[in-house]
A and B are shown apart, each in its own frame.
Chain A
Amino acid sequence: MVPLPYYLIVSGILFSIGTIGVLTRRNAIVIFMCVELMLNAVNLTFIAFSHELGKIDGQVFVFFIMTVAAAEAAVGLALMIAFYKNRESIDVEDVNLMKW
């Protein structure tokens, strides 16, 4: 039996790695992948809690998070394609037409 805090720490580490990725990478798709990593860290937390507490709610929540991730992926990638069509790049440092 693996103790709960182990899972939580692993998920915390994954969450932080995802955050670092969002803050440092420049490719919009990679940033999105890092966000997915963060969401997966949350999923792990939910399922670990769900298992520990003996409540299925957390797992259902994870199911919905996955759906949301899929929906976001569809729209997000569509936005990136639209942006790419006009700008020939999805580097976020080129996403700076509007500032100040």
Chain B
Amino acid sequence: MLEYVWLIPLFPLLGAVFNGLLGKKIKNEAVIGGIATLMIFCSFLVSCGILMQLIGLPAEERVFEKVVFPWIHSGNFKADMAFLVDPLSAIMIMVVTGVGSLIHLYSIGYMHGEEGFYRYFSYLNLFAMSMLLLVLGGNMLVMFIGWEGVGLCSYLLIGYYFHKKSAGDAAKKAFVMNRVGDFGFLIGLFTLYWWLGSNHNVWTINFTEIKAASSLLPYGGVVTIATLCFFVGATGKSAQIPLYTWLPDAMEGPTPVSALIHAATMVTAGVYMIGRMSFVFVKAPDTMMVIAIVGAATAIFAATIGTAQNDIKRVLAYSTVSQLGFMFLAMGVGAFTAGVFHLMTHAFFKACLFLGSGSVIHAMHHALHHAHSHDDPQDMRNMGGLRKAMPITFITFLVSTIAIAGIPGFSGFFSKDEILWQAFANPFHGGLNIFLWGTGAIAACFTAFYMFRLVFMTFFGECRITAKSKDHLHESPLVITIPLMVLGFLAVFGGYVGMPKLLGMLPNYFEHWLEPVFATAQGYAQTYVHAGAHHSHALEWGLMGLSVVIAVIGIAIAYILYIASPSIPARFTATFPALHRAVYNKWYIDELYDFLFINPCKALGSFLWKGFDVLVIDGIVDGVAKVVMGLSGMLKNLQSGYVHNYALSMALGVVVIIAFYIFR
């Protein structure tokens, strides 16, 4: 099966070509969507086969490189079209093809009747191909091609509703920010290539060869520069500070796209890349610290912003940024396994959440459409009480929310708790650890709060749309709910493969599985870290308990604010009319609450959103653009159209050049 690894990206490519060329003629949605889904599902089957075979091999033999064809060979530069299958890429292809298949299936229902149905599936398949190239690439160049490819497809899919100006702008923003990141990636690649080549005559960009030569790399120095450049690339693709503002805007695309590209797969490419080159990153302690700090900062930053959003997809978008921050935090503290584990569980529950929100939007859209209402179907203030109308969506959504909030027994708990524990107990960052842990823990609390706020506002309480619209609220068709159920199932049980040792009920398969991949990195880490303080099990138990408590606090706040308070007055009014006035007092308390806790928090959130996002980040981007445009205008004016000026420029060039050389 391993020999056939090239089939994995080939299937979606065929699907993309087929739909791109013939889709317009076929017009039959079932055929178009069916073929696209079938293709990615075939890739999934091949991936399963490869995973099985890999499991059958002894741990140390689980690396396989398949050269499909020799690509660029010249002098000492060599890059093949090669695929690398190892435990890490095996997990990634399973996630990409598995979640990808479900989202393709879901899209058939969701995109029903959209103009350019074939275009959508063609892009989606193309995206899957690029993403598979990215994760399977045996050298940096193949990876880079995938890297560019996913950026391109993301651009095409964000701008899918090109009639909307905001969609076009969002697409451009995403593409430009991704290009900044790509630039960092290329510079990092060049730096590493040049340093290894000129100093040790190892001209290579092949991952296995770099791994073999990684012992030649120094600690810090040039590796810090190279890894920082790579990290810039990762921040662009994975929406970390400061290049994250494109991701919330990217919600202009269709919801399944948000689920696949902007939650489950593409945005995790940065994490994957760091994992793939862990043996290089770990040699640059300063970079590791930067990654950890940026990750933690992004986690809390995006979480606070998430509390101030009312658009259901924007909440999820900021949540994604925040969760990606957790993954980077894990990478930065050397807990590569935990980071990848969170990547996987996050793919399950966040895809489920996005698809669930898509289901809600779908239903809302239809309901509002029937009632000829022009309310925003994505605004949570228009929702409420949907649990009765959409039970399956509600249950899967709730399960995923519990998972992301970090309640024991659900997948998110295992991975997030592992990250927090590693942030606290890792031997890399000394005194910084407590801050990293604290930031992460507070971010987790915020996460629980805004996610349950989302659930309560959407599914509980009274329905806030008109009664007429309400009658048209229906559960989505099977083609939409099946993927939801599968993902919901995974959101609950997907975490059991990586259960912490402490709980001890199941062995931590996940860690064993990835051990050979990160062994080299761990080896390097041993040589410079201070003797890691040994923490007792009691402490670990304690912190685990604390993180559960934190999550519960977040949920409780959300409950009080969005469920309990509105319902308490209602009950009081019903049973004790005399106490009506007191209920109003209750409201005052609530407002005090608002004033003391929620408003500052919301204010901070919207300040950070409006102030930082819009002013600083966009300001920098716009500022650079303005300067370049000004320069462009200046240079343009030099091009005056007069032959004299052109001749003058030439003569001036000659005079300067000659003067420089003969008078030097």
Interface residues of A (CB under 8 A from B): 19, 22-24, 26, 31, 92-93, 95-100
Complex A-B: 6 CB contacts under 8 Å: A93-B644, A95-B642, A95-B643, A96-B640, A96-B641, A100-B640
Query: Interface residues of B, CB < 8 Å — how many?
Result: 11
Q: Hey, which chain A residues are within 8 Å of B644, CB to CB?
A: 23-24, 26, 92-93
**Contact at B636–A23, with CB atoms within 8 Å?**
no
Determine the distance from Cα of A24 to Cα of B642 in the docked complex, in whole angstroms.
12
Please measure, in the bound complex, the distance between the C-alpha atom of A93 and the C-alpha atom of B643, giving whole angstroms: 8
Say yes or no: is B506 at the interface (Cβ < 8 Å to chain A).
no
Total number of residue pairs linking A and B with CB closer than 8 Å: 32
Tell me if B599 is interfacial: C-beta within 8 Å of chain A: no
List, in ascending order, chain A residues with CB within 8 A of B596's CB. Answer: none
Residue in B642, B647, B648 whose beta carbon sits within 8 Å of that of A96 in the complex? B642
B373, CB-defined interface residue at 8 Å: no
B residues whose Cβ falls under 8 Å from a Cβ of A: 636-637, 639-644, 647-648, 651
**Cα separation A19 to B641 with both chains bound (whole Å):** 19
Whole-angstrom distance between the alpha carbons of A74 and B643 in the complex?
A: 20
Contact present for A19 and B651 (CB under 8 Å): yes
Residues in B whose Cβ lies below 8 Å from that of A97: 641
CA distance A99 to B644 in the complex (A): 13
Within the assembled complex, what's the spacing in Å between the Cα atoms of A92 and B637? 18
Q: Chain A nearest CB: distance from B629 CB in Å?
A: 14
B632 → chain A, closest Cβ, in Å?
10
Most-contacted residue by chain B among A31, A92, A95, A100 (CB, 10 A): A100
User: How far is B646's CA from A92's CA once the two chains are assembled, in angstroms?
Assistant: 12
Determine if A100 and B636 form an interchain contact, defined as CB atoms under 8 angstroms apart.
yes
Contact A100 B647 (CB under 8 A): no
Q: Which residues of B contact A24 (CB under 8 A)?
A: 644
Which of these, A19, A22, A92, contacts B642 with CB under 8 Å? Answer: A92
Chain B residues near A92: list those with CB within 8 A: 642-644
Contact B648 A23 (CB under 8 A): yes
9 closest Cβ pairs, A-B complex: A99-B641, A96-B641, A92-B643, A100-B636, A100-B639, A22-B647, A23-B647, A96-B642, A99-B640
A19-B651, A23-B644 given; name 19 further pairs at CB < 8 Å: A22-B647, A22-B651, A23-B647, A23-B648, A23-B651, A24-B644, A26-B644, A31-B643, A92-B642, A92-B644, A93-B644, A95-B643, A96-B641, A96-B642, A97-B641, A99-B640, A100-B637, A100-B639, A100-B641
Q: Which residue of B lies closest to A31 (CB)?
A: B643
B648 A99 Cβ-Cβ under 8 A: no
Residues in chain A near residue B641, CB distance under 8 A: 95-100
Question: Which of these, B642, B647, B648, contacts A93 with CB under 8 Å?
Answer: B642
Complex: chain A residue closest to B639, CB-CB: A100
Measured in the bound complex, the distance between the Cα atoms of B515 and A50 in whole Å is: 78
Complex Cα spacing A99 to B639, Å = 6
Most B CB within 10 A of own CB, among A24, A92, A95, A99: A99
User: Closest chain B residue to A19 by CB distance?
Assistant: B651
| Shortest Cβ gap from A46 to chain B (Å) | 19
Q: B122 → chain A, closest Cβ, in Å?
A: 39
How many angstroms from the CA of A22 to the CA of B649 in the assembled complex?
12
Question: Closest CB of chain B to A32's CB: distance in Å?
Answer: 11
Instruction: Report the separation of the CA atoms of residues A92 and B644 in the bound assembly, to the nearest whole angstrom.
Output: 8
Residues of B within 8 A of A26 (CB): 644
- Bound Cα distance A80, B644 (Å): 16
A20 to B637 alpha-carbon distance, docked (Å): 23
* CB closest chain-B residue, reference A97: B641
Chain B, Cβ-Cβ closest to A28: B643
Query: Hey, which chain B residues are within 8 Å of A99, CB to CB?
Result: 639-642
